[in-house]
Structure 1
Amino acid sequence: MTPTPAPAPVRRLRSVRVRILAAILVVTALGLLVSGGASFLLQRDRILASIDEELRQQVESVRTIVESPEEAVVVEPDDAPLTAAPTDGSGFTDMDSLLRTVLGQVLPRLDGSTVGLVDGVARWEPQPYALSFLLDDDSAFLARVSEETAAGATVLGWGETDDGTLRYAAVPLRVEGAGTEGVFVTAIDTDARLSDLSDVSLSYAVIALVALAATGLVGWFVAGRLLSPIRELRRTASRITATDLGERIPVGGDDDVSDLTRTVNDMIGRLEGSFEAQRRLLADVRHELGTPITIVRGHLELVDARDPEDVESTRAIALDELDRMGHLLEDIAELSEAEREDRVAPQPTAVGELTRQVLAKVSVIPGPRWRSGPVAEVSVDADAARLTQAWLQLADNAAKYSPEGSTIVLGSERRGDRVELFVTDEGPGIPPAARDRIFERFGRVDDGRGIRGSGLGLAIVSAIARAHGGRVVLDSVPGRGTRFALSLPLERHPHDDTADRTGSTE
């Protein structure tokens, strides 16, 4: 059962053009996504690493202030106001003075903040400039930091507050004899630090979408142009029928699609030739079989069953005509086999040895005198049995049409990049008007001599020559003789010309 074709919209979605475009867009989108994602992650890691490095520098500055206050310097980021209080260089006797000194010398960036805790309570924050956020506003965060630093170790961690995601460092502080616990906390708003990267990523996404759309638009037109020969091929194929194979697809360019178009045109040409040959064969067979059938039928209708002599005569005529029809069908089958290239089995064949073998076979044909001509000692790729069959057919034709006792020469000779297997007779020759007809099915020369045959002999010879990439060469002078030759390439090139019907002017 023939499957029901899909609706037109579904077929369009499954078309080669759509699938090519989809593959291009998917690969392009993946490339843009991977490159953009990798760039974003690398930049994000770089920014976060710079934040951690900044926090470590502040931690080191706090330790320097605590251990050697006389060597401490003001630690300022590039965008912080230069309004830090100088250290007095003296030792610390209480926690408040230590935190005041640390907060006065270790200043945050505008996207950061610091705070000093005494016994878990915010007591000190940097002055006198305003910060983008304050740490002492989030009691839960301060309680968490106090708990994390209770063991006396510096902490580097992440925190979520109302102001966003923070990366912070907490340094526990102690002053001997003060009886209080202090913590210096510094934090950076990572959302603010990463905001520029987010803007760049958004811009990249917009540009990538525009590039993807442009790629899809260009890909759609390019794919359509490249596949236009295939669409033309489909339209042409839909117009071609068994009765009209003359249309061809226009070819332009030298790409793969153009090669496909040429191949399809060649295939259509071969189909056209096959259909035409089939129609011609059927017409010729109908014509050739019509005569013997008419003869047999007429004699059977008129036979006098009571006259033994008439019955015997009619029987002889019927058997003769049936034999002729049998030979005709055999020749038709032989021609069909000869036209099939897959029935030819080329092998390296010595032309000289083949010439001597064929001459030995034809020498027993009565009537003419057989003589050897030149012998080409070359080798060709050919089916020796098929060549022998064609060569014997030429020799048989020469014997039929040559006068009794005349000389027929059989030989082979090299001519350039080809070799010719020839038969030359001294017969009546072939009129120019008949030189095309004799190579057609059932084509005969009407010479009035009553020589019977199916008219398929030279068609078979021509088919065998074509199957070997060669042709039949005819050279004839009326009244002086004829030369037939199988012209074969030393290097095989299939589908050469059928025949070369030339005539000598000597």
Structure 2
Amino acid sequence: MQRLEANTINEVDQEFQEFENLATTETWNGAVPLLSTFLARNVPDDDELLYGRVGEREFIPTPNAANDLFEQQVFLDAVEPLLDSDGSTRISTDVGEVLLSSQTVLIDGEAGALVVINFLEEDRDEIRGTMRTYAIVSTLSLFLIIAIAFWQAGRALAPLRVVRDTAEEITETDLSRRLPVTGNDDITALTRTINGMLDRLESAFLGQRQLLDDAGHELRTPLTILQGHLELLDSDDPREVAETRDLLLDEIDRMRRLVDDLILLAKTDRPGFLKLSPVDAAALTDAAAAKAAGLGERAWSVDGTAGATVSADPQRITQALLQLAHNAVKHTVPGDVVALGSALDSGSVLFWVRDTGVGVAPEDRERIFERFGRGHDTTTDGFGLGLAIVTAIARAHGGDAWLDAEYDGGARFVFSVPQAPPPPQLPRTHGSGPPDDVPTRQET
């Protein structure tokens, strides 16, 4: 409203300025011709009227001559004081509030006055109408924007609802469900991440379940033996008690070794399993070969050693080599060759143990790397965890373990250790063979 008042005052000042310019730029014989000319030339706005007075003579533009304002007593009473001096006043009429502004003129002794009449209510009605229109348009626009926002939000959140519904159907007993992947946005990336997490969880749960099943199967036999002998034990026979005691202690020792192996495999996935340090591969190979010579009466030798330094845990590497050497002893006879060796290849150090024993049947080459995996024709004892432990140690270093499929005359087991261990990666399939450009046989 303040801006409306200011505009009205500017319009009044403009009329008075035009009136003053006309009065000073031409020669007039009194106030009557001046007012007559000005009112004839000037066309007022819709919310404005012009009124002139010289003595008792009134000057009213022809288009507004029928306006009854000039006949209303409230107008006559308000305009009378303005004819003698410049000023303004406001009156209330049946058409609303009216602003009266006057400017007097004196020419050749004849006095007159120009009165500018502004109908304020018309401007206010126009402003109110504009505000109402603006409010209606704004309200409708707001509702339209809200409706579009809800629609777009519904479309954007629809994949999240699908993710929620699918996630509710995934249980600890069934991790096979996967979230549908559609689009190429942040929600799609989140869905792929969740599916990857479910893949890892399913793999971990299946591995744990398989481990529990296999461990339960392996422990069932010694427990059955313990129970059977205890149930048949004649406690009054000292000799039978002594024999049963020795037998049960042997079975308990087997179970302890099984539990120790399982604990070791469980630790391979935990932080702190390895204590890395710079290791001389040649010295480590020679030291492991010296220790392995005490495992059995075999023709022990060293094929060759890698002249390189590798970042590794020397105790774990030695443990893996001795495990392979122990397996070689179990599958050979006195006089057979068992050799250890190491070599540098493509940024990794390869460690191996080979023997001239019976070798590994082709159908067993992958299965023997699995937990509790054994060859079909084996006659040795054990739980089938040795090669799984070797593989776990190699992969903890960022490498892998495999059987050299091209080696003839026995078996040759190889595992690799990168000189600079890379970030953890998904493991390769057990016994899948050596990587590219890795030597498959070292000659004695």
What TM-score range do you get, normalising by the shorter chain?
A: 0.7 to 0.9
Structure 2 equivalent of residue 473 of structure 1:
402
Decide which moves more: 278-287 or 478-487: 478-487
**How far apart, CA to CA, are the structure 2 residues paired with 1:229 and 1:486?**
44
Structure 1 position 128 matched with structure 2 position 62: yes
**Secondary structure at the counterpart of residue 499 of structure 1:** coil
> What is the CA distance between 1:266 and its match in structure 2?
1.6
Residues 158-205 of structure 1 deviation map (CA, whole Å, 9 limit, x = unaligned): 887543566x57234264998989562342657469849956983895
1:428 aligned residue (350, 353, 358): 358
Structure 2: state its 5+ residue gaps: 435-439
1:272 matches 2:202: yes
Question: Equivalent of 1:108, from 44, 61, 64?
Answer: 44
* TM-score, reference length from structure 2: 0.76
State the superposition RMSD in angstroms: 4.5
> 1:356 matched to which residue of 2?
283
1:215, distance to aligned residue in structure 2 (A): 7.7
* Mean CA deviation greater in 396-405 or 292-301: 396-405
Offset of residue 97 of structure 1: 7.6
Match of 1:408 in 2: 339
Are residues 393 and 260 of structure 1, via their aligned partners in 2, closer, same or farther at CA, if it must alter by over 3 Å? farther
Match of 1:37 in 2: none
Matches within 5 A, 1:3-402: 53-65=10-22, 68=24, 71-72=25-26, 89-92=28-31, 103-104=39-40, 106-116=42-52, 124-130=58-64, 135-136=69-70, 154=87, 162-164=94-96, 168=99, 170-173=101-104, 175=106, 182=113, 184-187=115-118, 191=122, 195=126, 202=133, 206=137, 209=140, 213=144, 216-217=147-148, 222-340=152-270, 342-343=271-272, 350=278, 353-354=280-281, 356-357=283-284, 359-365=286-292, 366=294, 367=296, 368=298, 369-371=300-302, 373-375=304-306, 377=308, 386-387=316-317, 389-402=319-332
Number of matched pairs: 430
Aligned residue identity for 1:357: L
**1:59 Cα deviation (Å)?**
0.9
Question: Residues 187 and 434 (structure 1 numbering): CA distance in 2 closer, same or farther, change over 3 Å?
Answer: same
CA-CA distance at 1:388 after TM superposition: 5.2
Kindly tell me: are residues 161 and 323 of structure 1, through their superposed partners in 2, closer, same or farther at Cα, counting changes over 3 Å?
farther
Q: 1:500 to 1:442 in 2, by over 3 A?
A: closer
Name the CA distance, whole Å, in 1 between partners of 2:282 and 2:154.
Answer: 58
Distance 1:388 1:139 in 2: 121
Q: Cα distance 1:223–1:345, how it changes in 2: closer, same or farther (>3 A)?
A: farther
Matched-pair contact (CA < 8 Å) for 2:49–2:64 = no
* Alignment partners' CA distance in 1, 2:301 and 2:239: 44
TM-score scaled by length of structure 1: 0.68
Residue 437 of structure 2 is matched in structure 1 by none
Check 1:483–1:334 CA distance in 2 against 1; reply closer, same or farther (3 A cut): closer
Q: Distance in 2 between matches of 1:159 and 1:426?
A: 125
**In structure 1, distance between residues paired with 2:417 and 2:90:** 92
1:29 matched to which residue of 2? none
C-alpha contact 1:466 1:495 (8 A) present in aligned 2: no
* Unaligned residue ranges in structure 1 (runs of 5+): 1-40, 73-87
Check conservation: 1:118, 1:183, Cα contact below 8 A. Answer: no
Q: Is the 8 A contact 1:394 1:423 kept in 2?
A: yes
Alignment match of 2:392 (pick from 452, 460, 463):
463
Deviation at 1:478, TM superposition (A): 6.3
Mapped to 1, the partners of 2:255 and 2:8 lie a distance apart of 104
Query: Residue 51 of structure 1: CA displacement?
Result: 5.6
Q: Is the 8 A contact 1:398 1:408 kept in 2?
A: no
- Structure 1 residues 65 and 237 mapped into 2: Cα distance closer, same or farther (>3 Å)? closer
Asked whether the equivalents of residues 83 and 104 of structure 2 are also in contact (C-alpha less than 8 Å), the reply is: no
